Structure 1
Amino acid sequence: MFAAENGLKGDPRLQGISQAIRVVPHFPKPGIMFQDITTLLLDHKAFKDTVDIFVDRYRGMNISVVAGVEARGFMFGPSIALSIGAKFVPLRKPRKLPGEVISEAYDLEYGTDCLEMQIDAVKTGERALVIDDLVATGGTLSAAIGLLERMGAEVVECACVVGLREVKGQRRLDGKPLYILVEPRQLDECF
């Protein structure tokens, strides 16, 4: 579900967020139109608006865990977690977390990868939100859901700043709701 379809239609914050994202053609490989959110992070208003929209949505939903996907989910997740009174759980690339971890491999649009989570990060029955910057195939979010559910958490929703209208891997999310702020911009929209 897109934010504009959920009560935010015409909200100027969404246009500001979209315009703050730089499009980098052919990165990391030919044919990819990379949606670079680092420019959004440099824009105080757009960054704040992004966090505020997520906080408004998740406040009052009894979420106790905000799980951020490395690395760009780390940029939004902690602020959201603090604002809604939840803990932040980092989902990291292999060999980045100390202690005992569980792993989940997944396919990317342009390769494969793996996420890990510390086994004591969540408890059975906790309500979790997964946050990342972008969803394309759904592979990363699917891996995040797998990690959290293996430890007994209930994934309430996945949230991304940018996402395709027809997420190619929506079926990979096992019916979990997906909340997206804006659609990817094309290079011709930047001029």
Structure 2
Amino acid sequence: MDDNSDLRDMIRTIPDHPKPGILFRDISTLMLDGGAFSATIDRLADALEGDPPDLIAGIEARGFVFASALAYRLGCGVLMLRKRGKLPGSTISIEYALEYGTDMLEMHDDACGPGANLVLVDDLIATGGTALAAVELLRQRGARVNQALFVIDLPDLGGAERLREKDVAPHALIAFEGE
């Protein structure tokens, strides 16, 4: 991974958010800069390997921003992976564990079918719980999910490694050590 120091410098760190001891990596400062945001999308597109995707699957909420821009850049569609109860119509869902409790991801049950080539996109990967749930949900519909793109990886939390164990190649532009 290139260090992408120009992009790294655009990400603000907020100490003790959402709880003491956490260094929150605030990507909104990067998104406010048109040149940095464009460069981010171009570099995410350049990280893709193999066949072009049919769809980019974005995880709510910041993942939608990156997924939409990337899909536009690549000329493909966007599949939204949303929190419980946000999508109208018929959906399928998956519940997954959080540090304190559970959460749920949903997608429209007709959003993709068997054999569709999808790339998962989110702003950040930490423990990987949400990304792993997303991969499982998409694969339940028969989609091929072999790559995931992130702007930020927090490698000490192990999420990228967990994706590799599920045969998903994670690509991140920037790594921040620690939590």
Fold conserved between structures, TM > 0.5: yes
| Structure 1: unaligned runs, 5 residues or longer | 187-191
1:99 and 2:89 correspond: yes
| Aligned residue in 2 for 1:76 | 66
For 1:15-94, list aligned pairs within 5 A.
Answer: 15-58=5-48, 61-94=51-84
Q: Equivalents in 2 of 1:172, 1:115: separation in Å?
A: 18
Tell me the matched-pair count. 177
- Runs of 4+ in structure 1 over 4 Å off: none
Tell me if the contact between 1:109 and 1:137 (Cα under 8 Å) persists in the aligned partners. Answer: no
| Aligned residue in 1 for 2:136 | 146
Percent of matched pairs sharing the same residue? 42
Amino acid at match of 1:39: T
Tell me if the contact between 1:94 and 1:114 (Cα under 8 Å) persists in the aligned partners. Answer: yes
Amino acid at match of 2:46: D
Tell me if the contact between 1:23 and 1:185 (Cα under 8 Å) persists in the aligned partners. Answer: no
TM-score, length of structure 2 as denominator length: 0.90
Cα offset, 1:168, TM superposition? 1.6
Q: Equivalents in 1 of 2:16, 2:34: separation in Å?
A: 27
Amino acid at match of 1:182: I
C-alpha RMSD of matched pairs (Å)? 2.1
SS at match of 2:47: helix
Q: Equivalents in 2 of 1:149, 1:48: separation in Å?
A: 30
Cα offset, 1:72, TM superposition? 0.7
Q: Equivalents in 2 of 1:33, 1:110: separation in Å?
A: 19
SS at match of 1:130: strand
| Structure 2: unaligned runs, 5 residues or longer | none
Q: Equivalents in 2 of 1:50, 1:16: separation in Å?
A: 10
Amino acid at match of 1:43: D
Q: Equivalents in 2 of 1:31, 1:151: separation in Å?
A: 39
Q: Equivalents in 2 of 1:157, 1:34: separation in Å?
A: 25
Q: Equivalents in 2 of 1:110, 1:28: separation in Å?
A: 14
Q: Equivalents in 1 of 2:75, 2:109: separation in Å?
A: 21
1:160 and 2:154 correspond: no
| Aligned partner (choices 162, 173, 176) of residue 181 of structure 1 | 173
Q: Equivalents in 2 of 1:60, 1:169: separation in Å?
A: 23
1:116 and 2:124 correspond: no
Amino acid at match of 1:183: A
